[in-house]
Amino acid sequence: MEFTIKSGNPEKQRTACVVVGVFDNRKLSLAAERIDRAAKGYISDIVRRGDMEGRLGSTLLLYNVPNTLADRVLLVGLGRERDFRDREYYKAVHSAVKLLNETGAYEAVIYLTEEKVRRREIGWRIEHTVIAACEATYRFDHMKTESSDVRRPLRKLTLSVPMRSDLLVGETMLARGMAVGEGTELTRDLGNLPSNLCTPAYLADTANRLASMYSTEVKTQVLERKEIEDLKMGAFLSVAQGSEAAPRFIVLEYKRSGVKKKPIVLIGKGITFDSGGISLKPGADMDQMKFDMCGAASVLGVFRTIAELKPDLHVVGLIPSCENMPSGRASKPGDIVSSMSGQTIEILNTDAEGRLLLADALTYAERYDPEAVVDIATLTGAMVVGLGHVASGVFGNNEALVRALVTAGDDAADRAWAMPLWDEYHDALKSNFADVANVGGRAAGSITAACFLSRFAKKYHWAHLDIAGVAWKEGKEKGATGRPVPLLVNWLLNQENRDG
């Protein structure tokens, strides 16, 4: 979709549709009021009759509104005025765009951007209008023989700003929103693609494609089994060994020329299918384990976004990728493997595989002398129990880093919540036969998983995002969400201005 911004009166827009808000007590927004005045009370009349109560996300499409130049006026409910905050804003835009996409209008001018949102300036509103619009129009149906394509999809959205002096910051944030939208879309596409197509090799191809699209800033290196063996990544390889699909260790590097900063390393869990291995998962909903590479997909999505925006940063992406399958060659419960760090691991449950590959990737990250390392993983079912589908869990060994990630998520409407990582939890991982066990029992499953990872992340500032609850949706809307790309991009762009 195409996006532009401009400043001007709603009643004077020659367009297929003008979008304006109505609050819950039937109070018209400023833009709605302007149209109402031009149309001599036409809108307030409709609102008074009870056809638009202003309930958040409700919509009413009007045609031939007198004395306006637009073909249509779309009224969008904003909910109660004093409760109108960032999430409400996002939701209102989302439902407006969803409806526009299904009408005959292929372009529109949206005035919701002019509404006051607590703590969110015009730049934020522009960026998040674009992100919400991308999310609302996303589809993944190219694998259906009869595509359910919208016949006249929304092709162009113009965002209105209150003053001409807003146009400059508006343009910047428009570009930012579009880049985040595109990155998120890549992440969603990769997540939704089934595991017979989205293999470790496919993820590597995707990385290589990014490197050829943005050849000055992005470089990649793809390690195959032999090289992974040479690195002595015994933990990663023990997961890969049960599968016919060959593993890949993907390295991406983004760097603006002249940037002297220490790199930030992002590590994404890339299990393209998690059957559980010999500790086989139950059959129900096992298809959802194709989403077990969403951490990897978010790293690729972030690279897409930053390659587009070109901030002054140095970012490394690491993606250990393989399948977790049962077979005669698969790891068995009780097996002991030697990780790249030298620590030995007793695999008590082959379904706790994510932490094994992350352990080796965390050790590999040491060679960059990083400023910070953040891993992103659909790591534990316990995280879904803990925080549901609302927030990612953040763990880490540096409080400032954890806080910065939580704040970045807040600002991006892509929330994360800090979880404890106290010494007491480490006891659960004691093994009678190796340095550490790969599971710690049912209690505090997400925390003991993070404790396991922390043993491999001692040499730098590190944080871990458990995205098991937020990376995809179940049920009727089953599909990847693209989270936490908005959080990560926000956090990275905040780093652009740090010293050093």
Segment holding 30, helix H or strand E: helix 30-38
With CB atoms as reference, the residue minimizing the distance to ligand BES is 381
| Residue of 290, 355, 455, 483 marked active site | 355
d(CA 94, CA 100): 10
428-432, long-range: CB < 8 A, 24+ apart = 431/345, 431/346, 431/348
Residue 380 interacts, among ligand BES, Zn ion, Mn ion, none and using kind-specific CB cut-offs from 5 to 8 Å, with: ligand BES
Nearest approach, Cβ of residue 62 and ligand BES (Å)? 44
110, 413, 429, 439: which one binds ligand BES (CB under 6 A):
439
Question: Judged by CB, which is closer to Zn ion: 173, or 239?
Answer: 239
DSSP bridge partners of 159 = 5, 110
Cα 211 to Cα 198: distance, rounded to the nearest angstrom: 19
CB atoms near residue 367 (< 10 Å):
9
Shortest Cβ 2–ligand BES spacing (Å): 36
DSSP-assigned letter for residue 368: G
465 binds, among Zn ion, Mn ion, ligand BES, none (CB under 5 to 8 A by kind): none
281 is catalytic: yes
- The reply to whether 323 sits near ligand BES by the rule CB under 6 A is no
| Closest listed residue to residue 416, CA positions, set 387, 448, 443, 442 | 387
Residue of 116, 281, 403, 459 marked catalytic: 281
In the range 359-378, which residues lie near ligand BES by CB under 6 A?
Answer: 378
Q: Pick the piece of the chain touching ligand BES (CB under 6 A) from 101-109, 201-209, 220-228, 351-359.
A: 351-359
Task: Among 181, 277, 445, 486, indicate the residue that binds ligand BES (CB under 6 A).
Answer: 445
Q: Residue 276 CB, nearest distance to Mn ion (Å)?
A: 6
Binding mask 399-438 for ligand BES (x = CB under 6 A): ----------------------------------------
Query: CA-based Rg of the chain, rounded to a whole angstrom?
Result: 24
Q: Which of 127, 135, 166, 351 binds Mn ion (CB under 5 A)?
A: 351
Nearer to Mn ion (CB atom), residue 346 or residue 351: 351
Distances 9 to 39, 168, 216, 264 between C-alpha atoms, Å: 13, 19, 43, 45
DSSP line for 56-74: TT-EEEEES-TT-SSSEEE
Q: Do 374 and 267 touch, CB atoms closer than 8 A?
A: yes
Output 22 or 271, the one with its CB closest to Zn ion: 271
Q: Which residues contact 459 (CB under 8 A, 6 or more apart)?
A: 366
The entry of Mn ion, Zn ion, ligand BES, none that residue 445 binds, CB within 5 to 8 Å by partner kind: ligand BES
Cβ(275)–Cβ(239) below 8 Å: no
For ligand BES, the binding residues in 222-251 under the rule CB under 6 A are: none
Q: Tell me which residue of 178, 181, 10 sits closest to 110, measured CA to CA.
A: 10
Instruction: Please give the torsion angle defined by the CA atoms of residues 269, 271, 276 and 281, in that order, rounded to the nearest 10 degrees.
Output: 100
274 binds Mn ion (CB under 5 A): yes
Least distance CB 362 / ligand BES (angstroms): 16
Q: 446, 452, 242: which is closest to 346 by C-alpha? A: 452
Report the half-sphere exposure of 269 (CA within 13 A, side-chain side): 34
Q: Is 355 a catalytic residue?
A: yes
Place of tokens 């949206």: 110
Residue 466 engages Mn ion in binding (rule: CB under 5 A): no
Q: Tokens 């439902």 label which residue?
A: 95
Site string for Zn ion, 235-274 (x = CB under 5 A): ------------------------------------x--x
Q: Which of 351, 375, 411, 414 binds ligand BES (CB under 6 A)?
A: 351
Subset of 351-370 contacting Zn ion (CB under 5 A): 354
Is there a contact between 107 and 15 (Cβ–Cβ < 8 Å)?
Answer: yes
Q: State residue 258 phi and psi, 5-degree precision.
A: 90, -15
Q: Which residues from 280-309 bind Zn ion, rule CB under 5 A?
A: 292
Instruction: Determine the residue with CB nearest Mn ion.
Output: 351
Q: Which stretch binds Mn ion (CB under 5 A): 86-94, 267-275, 314-322, 460-468?
A: 267-275
Question: Which region, judged by CB under 5 A, interacts with Mn ion, from 7-15, 211-219, 273-281, 295-303?
Answer: 273-281
Closest by CA position to 236, among listed 223, 245, 252, 249: 249
Residues 358, 236: contact at Cβ < 8 Å? no
Share of the chain residues as helix, strand and coil, in percent rounded to the nearest 5: 40, 20, 40
Active-site residue set: 281, 355
Contact footprint for ligand BES (CB under 6 A):
274, 292, 349, 351-354, 378-382, 384, 439, 445, 468
Residues that bind Mn ion (CB under 5 A): 274, 351, 353
Note the residues at the interface with Zn ion (CB under 5 A).
271, 274, 292, 354
